[in-house]
């Protein structure tokens, strides 16, 4: 509904609920770079330590961090009390609310 914010010359912060293999986070970071972001920071709720290191090592992100970095990450969902999908209409409502367009 709104044009994308220009990323040229800016720092992009990519946020993910969890990073197991890092594939989705890598794709999002590469899109931010392709759109001109000069720095990409990745923040996650939970992440596998090897995946965070690989994302920084291969240059996908400049910095990667997570609230929880367990020794063994079998699935992202195991670290959440409620890992249910959020319906699209709820996401749109929350984004609109965040923009102040109630």
Provide the phi-psi class of 59: left if phi over 0, else alpha when psi is between -120 and 50, else beta: left
Work out the pLDDT band at 2, boundaries 50, 70, 90: confident
* Alpha-carbon span 7 to 73, nearest angstrom: 32
Assess whether pLDDT exceeds 90 at residue 22.
yes
pTM for the structure as a whole: 0.83
Assess whether pLDDT exceeds 50 at residue 102.
no
Q: How far is CA 74 from CA 18, 82, 85, 99, in A?
A: 11, 16, 19, 36
Residue 66 CB neighbour total at 10 angstroms: 21
Please, what CATH class does the domain formed by 11-75 belong to?
Answer: alpha beta
* Span 37-95, pLDDT tens digits: 999 999 999 999 999 999 999 999 999 999 999 998 889 989 988 888 999 999 889 88
Q: Give domain limits for the chain.
A: 11-75
Q: Which residues contact 26 (CB under 8 A, 6 or more apart)?
A: 55, 58, 60
């Amino acid at each position: 509904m709104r044009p994308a914010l220009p990323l040229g010359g800016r720092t992009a912060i990519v946020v993910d609920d969890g990073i197991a293999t890092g594939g989705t986070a890598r794709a999002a970071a590469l899109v931010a770079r392709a759109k001109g972001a000069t720095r990409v920071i990745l923040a996650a709720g939970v992440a596998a330590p090897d995946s965070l290191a690989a994302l920084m090592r291969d240059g996908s992100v400049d910095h990667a961090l997570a609230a929880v970095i367990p020794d063994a990450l079998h699935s992202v969902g195991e670290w959440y009390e409620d890992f249910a999908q959020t319906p699209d209409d709820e996401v749109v409502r929350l984004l609109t609310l965040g923009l102040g367009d109630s």
